[in-house]
Amino acid sequence: MDRFRVALGGVLLLLVSTAAAAQTTSVSGRVANTQGGVISNAAVTLRLLPPPGAPVMPRTPNMPTMPGMAGAERTTQASADGTFSFDQVAPGQYILQVDFDGFERSSQAITVANQPQTVAMSLQPLEIPGAEGVAAPAAGSVTDTQALVVRIKELEQRISDLESSTVLSEPETRVKRIEVYVDPNGNEHDQPVAGAKKTVTYRRERVYRRQTINEKIEEALADAENRNVKLGVSATLATQAARRTQGPHGDADGHAYQLSSADLFFTAGLAQYTMFFADVVGLSGAPPDTEIPSITLLNSYTARLVHQNELNLREAWLRTEVFSQRLSLIAGRVDLTNYFDRNAVANDETTQFISDALVNNPMLGLAVNGTGVVGVIDPKNGFNFKVGFQQSSANPTNLSESAYTLGEVGYVMTPFSLPEGNYRVWYRHDNSDHRQRSGAGISIDQKLTPVFTLAARYGQADALPGRDHFYSTGFQIANGAVVSPLDTWGAGYSQTELAAGRKEKLAEGYYNFHLSERLRLSFHLQHVIDTNAPGTFGYLLPGVRLQASF
Amino acid sequence: MFNSRSLTILCGLVLAVCTAFLGVRLRAAGIDPTSVVMIVERDSNDIAFMDIKTNKIVGKVFLGNNVNPHMVMMSPDGRYVVTGGTRANKAYIIDVATLKLVKVIPVDIAPEHLSFSPDSRWYYQGNPQGDSIAVIDMQSLTKIKTITGLVEPLNVTFLPDGSKAYVGNYGAHWVGVIDVRRHELLKKIDVAQVPGVAKLDPAKYLGEIKGINYAAPTTDGKYLYAADSDLGVVGKIDTREDKVIKVIRVGPDPWRIYMSHDGKYAITPNNGDNTISIIDLQADKVAATLEAGPNMTGVNYAAGKAFVISSTSGFVYVYDMKTLRPAGRIKVGTNVQLETATTDIADEKLYLADSTENAVVIIDAKTQQMTKITEGIGQFPWGTHIMDSKDNYCH
């Protein structure tokens, strides 16, 4: 059947070519170099162009190219005097191209009508610096003088290129880590050899690559930066005022407070996938927590305050990644709240809420940083698992004192066609206060739209007697409904219920202005109500926080 | 006895008979342009051709010392392969039938990315450091014009009808519209406004500018999506009216936007916070923002997944495009630098350039297994290209 169809096509083509044969003409010409010298025996191709607007079909080795079809080619060889000719050329649009070793292809579009056409084709030398075995133009076809003139012009062009782009042309060398095979005699082979063992070694290789002077300098600076210890600074000024809203007049009523904090942190790469981090912090000032005895801290920075105007080592740890970087291990002086119970909306006291109840879950129970170790398994498939151990005592006498152990499972979901949400469940066990205690909690943040993210936390912990409970919820607005594109704002509410009967309700709203990459300014309004305490009270605390980081 | 007319008729008859009974067909010589992966080998200054079936190098074209080719592309008609030599300030044209370099055309400073018009007539070679685009006529193989007035042009997108082309200007915040008939810059489309608060941050906004890399077309060519790195947004452009009709905020420092093959989603790798934003193109909003890796250079789609290349970490991050969730990552190597990748026509395999190992890594998208090809690969492979792949890009 296929052969029948092709035969039918051939017959039809025969009819077409019969008709076309009555209207053909010829295309001829002469091939020369740019100085007019003859080029003999060049390959000349005449190709029929598709009509304008026709779909482009890629030419493949299996594609039939019958005469008269778009893309059909005819090739001939120019004679010794450089002339060529194509007969029986049907009218149409064609590409005429000429090829000869050592010269660039000459190509031009021609329109063939009913009249014979003569085309002059001119070839320019093709120079490939560094190429081996490039054939010189055939002897006798170009005179020596003409070749010299062409060469001088090319050299002048190259000098001009070099002057304009200021490049460095020396070969560059770089060191590569390679695998080789070493036999029992210590001889090194590039390929496997009987008795040879595969080993890793390092070798320099040379490359012919041009770089501009700017690129060289940038590369050197980046390389130097990678080897250095990196230093960062973060400073925060938080000013708050207190106005009593419930209960009799108290010490804090009408007072203003300020706490300043400066963090200096260092990071350094020590080995493959291994880094060192240290954070030194100094605080000074009077936070509202010194006068308002709420259950949770009204300024989360207060947790870092050990002694005024003193530098304290907040964190110092080593981190390494093993098993194809699926497992991260961190050991040293750690802050487990950096790894557990995280939340996209309520986790960062520098840019989000300032109330500690909306930054951390108090049921975690971690009062201060301490010696510890954390393992994080994150195969980047949405699940992650964390286990951590930390001592949380200001003045420990041994490692087993006030020891906290935490475990957490986290999962990334996109439920009900919503954007991403993070769901975490944690459990902790500790021996603080000379007894075994446990706690558990969840932390959720779920984007409802690209602009609006909802968050929630719950936690409970052993108390004496009964259990303490904690609830919080909040939201954050980002990427929309803001003054400046990178601003964020949010609101949150938390409720802490101690087994002893004391309760705290806290609400906070904030707006964070992103003034520059390094400077943020935020306004806060908190309201806290502490009930069932000796002297039930409520306070309204407006505040301003300025945060800079380098 | 026989005049030319009779001879033609006789030849046609013989041809028909041969075709019918012998199955003989006239074939074009050379490699099949649809069955090779082209590899830009930057530091060995050549273009390699690897057979897709055998993974063997079947051809190599040396361009000259110190050329440092950047991006390679096959013309839509499968006749030519072209590349810009960044350190030679020239465009190089290779004949596919003979795998020979046939033309070298001086262009402007530091040519990098390029594009073909859909009819294969025009080869637009972008010269970012020259702030221009060289227009090369593929019929005469000559440069006929240099389009100026651009600002670090990185990529060019032609409309399917070839009437206009859109240029991503990395040194500015606008997309240039070019009239392809006259090869002139017609207008500039501002993707988004720089926020007023920018004057408080001269270190960021005056130190360096990272604007628009690429304007990605929808499958029907009616709209373009362009990510602006400094502004952290994606602008949607209506190509009929050449105006921005929507601005979508994504993560910080999006490198560029990559369209999924089914036209439903697009991804911006956000190098500012190592995340990706997955944009739902029906609703024109971010459907998910997921954790990724540092220094992302490309996104490829295959087997219902997205593969995000993290250049310096040695990982390719994988995402399920049905559930829009992370689906693991593929470790390519240690201390390696990954460049860009192309995807085969069947959307089954990725061909990723691994420059420091002088290798091409073939990733099976279904199984996520990989094969490293080093045999025959030259120095510092910078990019790969397969004709008609939906993921042909450069960085």
Give CA–CA dist B388/B320, Å, rounded. 24
| Arithmetic mean of pLDDT, B215-235 | 96
Domain span holding position A430:
229-549
Q: Is A351 left (phi over 0), alpha (psi -120 to 50) or beta?
A: alpha
pLDDT-derived band at B27 (thresholds 50, 70, 90) equals very low
Task: From chain B, pick out residues whose CB is under 8 angstroms from the CB of A106.
Answer: 141
HSE at residue A47, side-chain half, CA atoms within 13 A, is 19
Phi/psi of residue A17, each to 5°?
-65, -30
Residue A429 and residue A404 in contact, taking contact as beta carbons nearer than 8 Å: yes
Closest alpha carbon to B343 in B325, B361, B324:
B361
pLDDT at B11 over 50: no
Q: What is the 3-state secondary structure (H, E, C) of A197-213?
A: EEEEEEEEEEECCCEEH
Give CA–CA dist B195/A483, Å, rounded. 10
Residue type, A383: F
Mutation choice for A interface testing from B26, B31, B101, B138 by most A CBs within 10 A: B26
pLDDT at B26 over 50: no
pLDDT at A402: 82
In a domain, A18, yes or no: no
Q: Do B201 and A6 touch (CB under 8 A)?
A: no
In three-state secondary structure terms, A154 is: helix
| CB contact A18 to B (< 8 Å) | yes
| Residue of B19, B30, B65 lying closest to A208 (CB–CB) | B65
Q: Taking a contact as any Cβ pair under 8 Å apart, which residues of chain B between 326 and 385 contact chain A?
A: 326-329, 331, 334-335, 356, 379-380
Q: Taking a contact as any Cβ pair under 8 Å apart, which residues of chain A between 97 and 116 contact chain B?
A: 99, 104-109
| Residue of A58, A104, A420 lying closest to B76 (CB–CB) | A58
- Residues A179, A316 share a domain: no
Give CA–CA dist B231/B251, Å, rounded. 9
Please, what sign has the CA dihedral across residues B265, B270, B274, B275?
negative
Q: Do A381 and B64 touch (CB under 8 A)?
A: no
Q: Give the model confidence (pLDDT) of A429-446 as tens digits.
A: 998 877 889 999 999 999
| CB contact B16 to A (< 8 Å) | yes
Neighbouring-strand partners of residue A74: A46
- Residues A333, A209 share a domain: no
In three-state secondary structure terms, B254 is: strand
| Residue of A88, A127, A379 lying closest to B328 (CB–CB) | A379
- Output the average pLDDT for chain B: 92
DSSP B10-61: HHHHHHHHHHHHH-------S--GGGEEEEEETTTTEEEEEETTT--EEEEE
- Residues A258, A405 share a domain: yes
Residue that is written with structure tokens 């046939």 in the block: B102
- Residues A206, A77 share a domain: no
| CB contact B163 to A (< 8 Å) | no
| CB contact B270 to A (< 8 Å) | no
| Residue of B23, B77, B317 lying closest to A58 (CB–CB) | B77
Within 10 angstroms of residue A182's Cβ, the number of other Cβ atoms is 16
Cis peptide before A465 (omega within 30 of 0): yes
- Flag whether the ipTM exceeds 0.90: no
Closest alpha carbon to B125 in B144, B111, B110, B137:
B111
Among A186, A219, A252, which residue terminates a domain?
A: A219
Assigned token pair, A452: 């609006």
- Residues A442, A320 share a domain: yes
Residue B137 and residue B144 in contact, taking contact as beta carbons nearer than 8 Å: yes
Q: Do A3 and B287 touch (CB under 8 A)?
A: no
CATH (domain of A112): 2.60.40.1120
Task: From chain A, pick out residues whose CB is under 8 angstroms from the CB of B31.
Answer: 61
CATH (domain of A250): 2.40.160.10
Furthest-apart CA atoms within chain B: distance in Å: 92
Q: Do A208 and B43 touch (CB under 8 A)?
A: yes
| CB contact B119 to A (< 8 Å) | yes
> What architecture (CATH level 2) is domain B295-395?
6 Propeller (2.120)
Distance from CA of B241 to the nearest CA of A (A): 23
For chain B, how many residues are written?
395
Count of domains forming chain A: 3
Q: Exposed (0-12), middle (13-18) or buried (19+): which is A252, by Cβ within 10 Å?
A: buried
- In angstroms, the Cα distances linking B123 to A293, B118, B183, B221 are 74, 10, 11, 19
In a domain, A534, yes or no: yes
pLDDT at A371: 93
* Residue of chain B nearest A21, judged by CA positions: B5
Task: From chain B, pick out residues whose CB is under 8 angstroms from the CB of A484.
Answer: 195-197
- Residues A250, A113 share a domain: no
Return the CA Rg of chain B. Answer: 22
| Residue of B32, B139, B325 lying closest to A95 (CB–CB) | B139
Closest alpha carbon to B190 in B172, B205, B178:
B172
Q: Do B33 and A13 touch (CB under 8 A)?
A: no
pLDDT at A202: 81
pLDDT at A150: 74
In a domain, A7, yes or no: no
| CB contact A373 to B (< 8 Å) | no
Give CA–CA dist A36/A131, Å, rounded. 27
For chain A, how many residues are written?
550
In three-state secondary structure terms, A408 is: strand
Task: From chain A, pick out residues whose CB is under 8 angstroms from the CB of B100.
Answer: 99
| CB contact A482 to B (< 8 Å) | no
Task: From chain A, pick out residues whose CB is under 8 angstroms from the CB of B335.
Answer: 177, 272
pTM of the complete model beyond 0.90: no
Among A98, A113, A128, which residue terminates a domain?
A: A128
Report how many Cβ contacts below 8 Å link chain A to chain B.
238
Q: Give the model confidence (pLDDT) of A196-213 as tens digits.
A: 999 888 887 776 666 778
- Residues A472, A371 share a domain: yes
In three-state secondary structure terms, A394 is: coil
Mutation choice for B interface testing from A381, A383, A484 by most B CBs within 10 A: A381
pLDDT at A186: 84
Point out the residues of chain A with pLDDT beneath 70. 1-22, 60-71, 132-143, 146, 160-171, 207-210, 533
Q: Do A61 and B31 touch (CB under 8 A)?
A: yes
In a domain, A138, yes or no: no
Mutation choice for A interface testing from B93, B102, B368 by most A CBs within 10 A: B102
pLDDT-derived band at B23 (thresholds 50, 70, 90) equals very low
Closest alpha carbon to A66 in B95, B75, B18:
B18
Closest alpha carbon to A348 in A512, A516, A468:
A512
| CB contact A395 to B (< 8 Å) | no
B326 Cβ contact partners less than 8 Å away, ≥ 6 residues apart: A380, A381, A382, A412, B290, B291, B317, B318, B319, B320
Task: From chain A, pick out residues whose CB is under 8 angstroms from the CB of B63.
Answer: 128
| Residue of B88, B315, B324 lying closest to A414 (CB–CB) | B324
Pairing of strands B338-343, B349-354: antiparallel
Neighbouring-strand partners of residue A507: A493, A527
| Arithmetic mean of pLDDT, B318-327 | 97
- Residues A515, A464 share a domain: yes
Distance from CA of B85 to the nearest CA of A (A): 11
B254 Cβ contact partners less than 8 Å away, ≥ 6 residues apart: B227, B228, B229, B232, B234, B268, B269, B270, B271, B272, B277
pLDDT at B366 over 70: yes
| Residue of B34, B118, B356 lying closest to A56 (CB–CB) | B118
Closest alpha carbon to A237 in A314, A360, A346, A350:
A350
Residue type, A194: A
| Residue of A109, A131, A382 lying closest to B326 (CB–CB) | A382
Please, what sign has the CA dihedral across residues B329, B332, B334, B338?
negative
pLDDT at A300: 94
Residue A496 and residue A295 in contact, taking contact as beta carbons nearer than 8 Å: yes
